[in-house]
Every structure is written in C-alpha cells, then in structure tokens.
Chain A
Amino acid sequence: MWQRIKEVKDGPLFWILPTGAVLIVFYLYPLFDVLRMSFTDAYLFIRPGYSYTLESYSHLLTTPDFFFMLRITFIFVSASVLFQLLLGLFIALVINEGTRRGLSGTVVTRTTVLCAWILPGVVIGIIWRMLLSGSPYGVVNYLIERVGFNKLPFLFSPSFALVSVIIANIWRGTAFTMILQYAGLQKIPPELYEAARVDGASASQLLRYVVIPQLRSMLFINVVLITIYTFNTFDIIIALTGGGPARSTEVIALNVYNTIFKFLDLGTGAAIAVILLFINLVMSLVYYRFFRVETEVEI
C-alpha cells in the first residue's frame, strides 16, 4: 500500500490535486448548476418552481435577433482580439528593445498602458462617453472640429457605435497582451538572437524567424484568454451605449446580463452561457491548431 501511495506521490496527480480540489469544490458545483439551469425554464424570484425542458434553448435559438447578436459579438471579439494582439505585441517589442538599450521612460510607458486596464469598466465607459459624445462637451469631436473636419457620430450611428466600443475595449485590454508578451520575450535565449545576427538577419527577419516562433505558446495562451475575456465583456459596453443604438452594440455577454439581471430569466441566461462556453472551447481548439502549439512542445 505504501508503494501505491509512493506511486501517487511520484505521479502527476499529487501535484495537480490542489488545483483540482479548489476548482471542484468552489467552481464545479455552480458550473454544473448553470448547466443544469439551462435545461430548465427557471425564473428568479418570479416563480418558485421550474421544470426540466429544452425550451430555453429553443427559445434562444428562435430569437429573431440572436444571430444578429452573434454577428455583432464576432465582429467585436475578432477586431478587439486582433488589434489588442498586434498593439500589445508591438508595445512589448518596443519596450523590450527600449529596455535593452537602456532608454528611460520605460516604466512610465508600461505603467500608463497598465492604468487603462485597471480602471473600473464603468468608469471607462463614462470617460469614453465624455470623449466621444456628440454634444458640445465631447472632447474628440471638439478637436476634430478644431482641425477643420465635421463631427463624427461616434455613439449615435449604429456602425460608428460598434467601432467606438471596439476602440474603448482595445484601449482597455491591450495591457494584458503587452505584459504577457513582454514576459514571453524575456525567456527567449539571447543566443538565438546572436546566432541570427551572425547569420546577417535584419530586424524584421529576427522578428519573423526568431521572436514569433519562440512566442508561439505564449501567443496561443494570450489569444485564448483575451478571446474568452472579450466574449465575457459587457460592463464597458453597458456604460458606453447600453447595447444601442437599437441592438447595434449588443454583444452576447450583454444579452446574458440583461436576461438574468433584468428579465430574471435564468433558464435562457444559462443556455446562452453554455453556448458561449462551447464557442470558447471551439475557438480554443482552433487557435491550438493555428498556433501549432503541439508541434513545438508536447502538450
């Protein structure tokens, strides 16, 4: 018996157990409950009982605007993720290079990007409203007019509103990518750079053949996480446009929030959450393939 225990102790289970325990005890029950709720027609506080049914799913999938909202969500997520990734990577590279050269102002730059991330979402919404407002006190439009152009309908035209929301989200979320990729850049062995330089590589070739491949697994986890986060983002949108005008910025996460917290419709809300979970899982697998993570290191 001691042999078995020793085996377990030498095996991976022993190491993974604490994580498993935390997740199972504190997260699994609520998670299962959400799954379970999606198969009911439960309502919060309005109706005490509920029955098991697939109605919540069918209700959801037959909602006229559901696929419209999915489309809005995908636009929001893909634009946010893409630009956060590019911008964050760019900033990480710039800072990395700057640190290497001993430039001052690195800490200030990093901290500034970080500040955008830690502001509460609602405050970000309020501020960006003030900046993008079509009213006279709107700062951005004021500057645009000073330069001689016409005001832009940032928040009251359906298409512009979506763009505005994306920009605010990029502004807020880029810090995450920056920090992650910066950390990733630290673990690239300097010998690789030197070897490439000896071979006469230019900066862009260095980027393409040394940096990016080395960052692959980091980029993978980065993309997966910011995709998940962006799918779950709604606080900035609710503060900025409330999902409007009409439904032009209503992403799925916002719809979930309204469904559960305003309409008290737990069944449908849970169903949407489950569908979101599957979308996230599928996207993760797609990213996995795309980044060919498994060929780099056996996962």
Chain B
Amino acid sequence: MIRDSFKVRGMDITLYMCYFVIIAFFIGPLLWVVSLSLKTPSEIFAYPPQLIPNRLAIENYATVWTRSHIPLWIFNSFKIVMFTVIGCLSVSIPAAFAFSRFRFKGKREAMFGILAFQMISPMIILIPLYRYFSALNLLDTHLGLVMIYIAVQTPFTVWLLKGFFDSIPQSLDDAAMVDGCSRIQALFRIILPISVPGIAAAIVFIIVQSWSQFIVPFILLTNLKLLPISVGIFHFQFVQVEISTQLLAAASILAILPVILIFVVLQRFIVQFLIAGAVKG
C-alpha cells in the first residue's frame, strides 16, 4: 500500500516538474514582453539586461490607452470574432456531421477539396479579394471581413468536428431516430452535447486565429473605428521617432488579455460541463 502511494507521489512530482519546465519555457519571452511594457526607453537597452524595471512605468499603458482607440478596437475584435465563431460553427457543424454520417461518392475528394482552400495563405488571395470586395462594396465593412474569416476558418473546423463526430458511434444516432427523432434532432440532442470538447477546441482555434489576423483586416479595412486590435496595435510601431518599443509591448499585452480571459472562462465552462456528466462513458 505504501509502495503504491509512493509511486503515485513520484508521478505527481514528476508531473509538477514537467509543469514547471513547460511554464518556464513558454513564459520566459512573455515575461519579457510584460517587462518591456513597463520600462522607459532608456531602460529597454540597459546592460546588464534586467527583468524587473527599476520603476514600473505604468504610464505606458495610459499613453497607449488614451492615444488611440484601443477600447474600441478590442470591442471590434470581440464583435468580429463572435460573429465568426457563430457563422463558422453554423456552417461547419452540419457539413462535418454529413461527412461523418453519410456515405457517398466523392466524399474524400470533397473533404480534400475543402482542405485545399486552407492551403492558400490569406495573404495571397488578398490582392484579388480587395478588388472583388471593392466591386461588391464589402470593403471597409465588418460584414465582409467576417465572411472572409468564416471562409478561412471553415475548412479545418469541418475536419476537426468530423473527427469528433466520427468517434461517436452511429448507434446512438440510430437509437435516437428509432425513437422518432429526425437526423437534425439527433444531431442537436445527442451528438452535440457529447462533442463539447471538440467544439470547444474548434472555438478556441477560431478565436485565436481570427483575433490575431493582421494583413487581411489591415488591407480590407481603412476606417479607424472599424479596426480590430490586431491591426490597431501597430499604430505604436514607429520608425525614426522617439523610441517606442515599450508602447508596442504595452499595446500587445492589452491586445492579448481579452483572449486569455476568454480562454480561462471557456476552460472553466468546459470543465463544469464535463463534470456534469455530459460526457458519455
């Protein structure tokens, strides 16, 4: 018995050590960004390099907050990302479900075809897209931007969700349909609740990848009030002006805080959901 508890302990300690190493590797540069954001220009290049500034230059954050439209931009990002998530899931879930449940000719080709859309970087399609959207009057609109984001995120979301649906035995669907559900009802009542981890993963990806898009919104949007934060922070990158790296750092921290918040909240939500026994097993 004691031997077992040692073994468990040993594993726990090993795991904690792993946690530590992982955190150390990933947080190092991050801490540096935070440190930068709280330094004054003369401290940025100090030698020897110091992690903790002599004085916390919080005014950097104040400058960044007031000298631009950061609150508005963060709101824009929320808005754009929210619509992208809703839109993307709305089209991807049915498609993934169909690819999972139906057998039909050309299924593999269709799936790879969808994936092929993912293989051309948004940067490249931006040039014809600009003219296309200009003709459609979708330039400088959130609607146009969201549609492109949805188009960009859909292919892999379909694949991801299909993978999840695949792991749910079709017998569950069949049982539900025998009980009188239509396919759609089977999807909503049985499959989706079980796929929460997969959907959550998809949501995280859509959020992160849409939040950090730069070149697409930069080219498609001009109106200052429409910019997402990923574009807005570059208003603090200057050339030949008084040193401003610390401002860019502060702006970047502000830009990622909302996503971190969403992520933490989402994790809690998922954990609760799982604990509530919604997972089959």
- Give me the interface of A with B, judged by CB distance under 8 Å: 10-12, 14-16, 18-23, 25-27, 29-31, 33-34, 37, 44, 91, 94, 97-98, 101, 103, 105-124, 126-128, 130-131, 136-139, 142, 171, 174-176, 179-180, 182-184, 186-187, 189-191, 217-218, 221, 224-225, 228, 232, 235, 253, 256-257, 260, 266, 269-270, 273, 276-277, 280-281, 284-285, 297-299
Contact = CB atoms under 8 A, between A and B. Distances in A.
A26 B49 contact: no
A253 B121 contact: yes
Contact of B197 (A101, A119, A186): A186
Contacts of B115: 224, 284
A138 B117 contact: no
Contacts of A276: 119-121
A22 B281 CA distance: 36
Nearest to B147: A26
Given A23-B114, A103-B19, A118-B208, A232 B121 contact: yes
A182 B32 CA distance: 28
A299 B108 contact: yes
A286 to B, nearest CB: 13
Interface string B153-172: 01110111001101100000
Instruction: Report whether over half of chain A's contact residues are helix, strand or loop; otherwise say mixed.
Output: helix
A110 B92 contact: no
A97 B15 contact: yes
A191 B233 CA distance: 49
B contact residues, range: 35 or more
B256 A221 contact: no
B260 A190 contact: no
B61 interface: no
14 contacts: A18-B90, A23-B155, A110-B263, A116-B29, A118-B212, A120-B212, A120-B214, A123-B249, A142-B49, A189-B281, A225-B118, A270-B124, A281-B112, A281-B116
Contacts of A15: 94-95, 97-98, 102
B253 to A, nearest CB: 9
Contacts of A184: 163
Contacts of B23: 108-109, 112
Interface string B4-29: 00001001100110110011011111
Interface in B230-278: 230, 233-234, 237, 245, 248-249, 252, 255-256, 259-260, 263-264, 267, 274
B104 interface: yes
A23 B127 contact: no
Contacts of B74: none
B260 A19 contact: no
Contacts of B211: 118
A239 B129 CA distance: 26
Interface string B48-62: 110000000000000
A22 B154 contact: yes
A127 B237 CA distance: 14
Contacts of B19: 94, 98, 103, 105-106, 109
B125 interface: yes
B252 A120 contact: yes
A259 B110 CA distance: 32
A187 B167 contact: yes
Contacts of A101: 8, 11-12, 15
A18 B46 CA distance: 56
A189 B11 CA distance: 22
A253 B102 CA distance: 37
Contact of A27 (B47, B125, B160): B125
Contacts of A114: 204, 208, 259-260, 263
Given A34-B125, A103-B15, A116-B29, A26 B197 contact: no
Contact of B128 (A37, A137, A176, A284): A37
Given A11-B102, A235-B214, A284-B112, A107 B267 contact: yes
B124 to A, nearest CB: 4
Given A30-B132, A94-B19, A139-B49, A18 B94 contact: yes
Given A23-B151, A23-B154, A257-B123, A112 B116 contact: no
Nearest to B115: A284
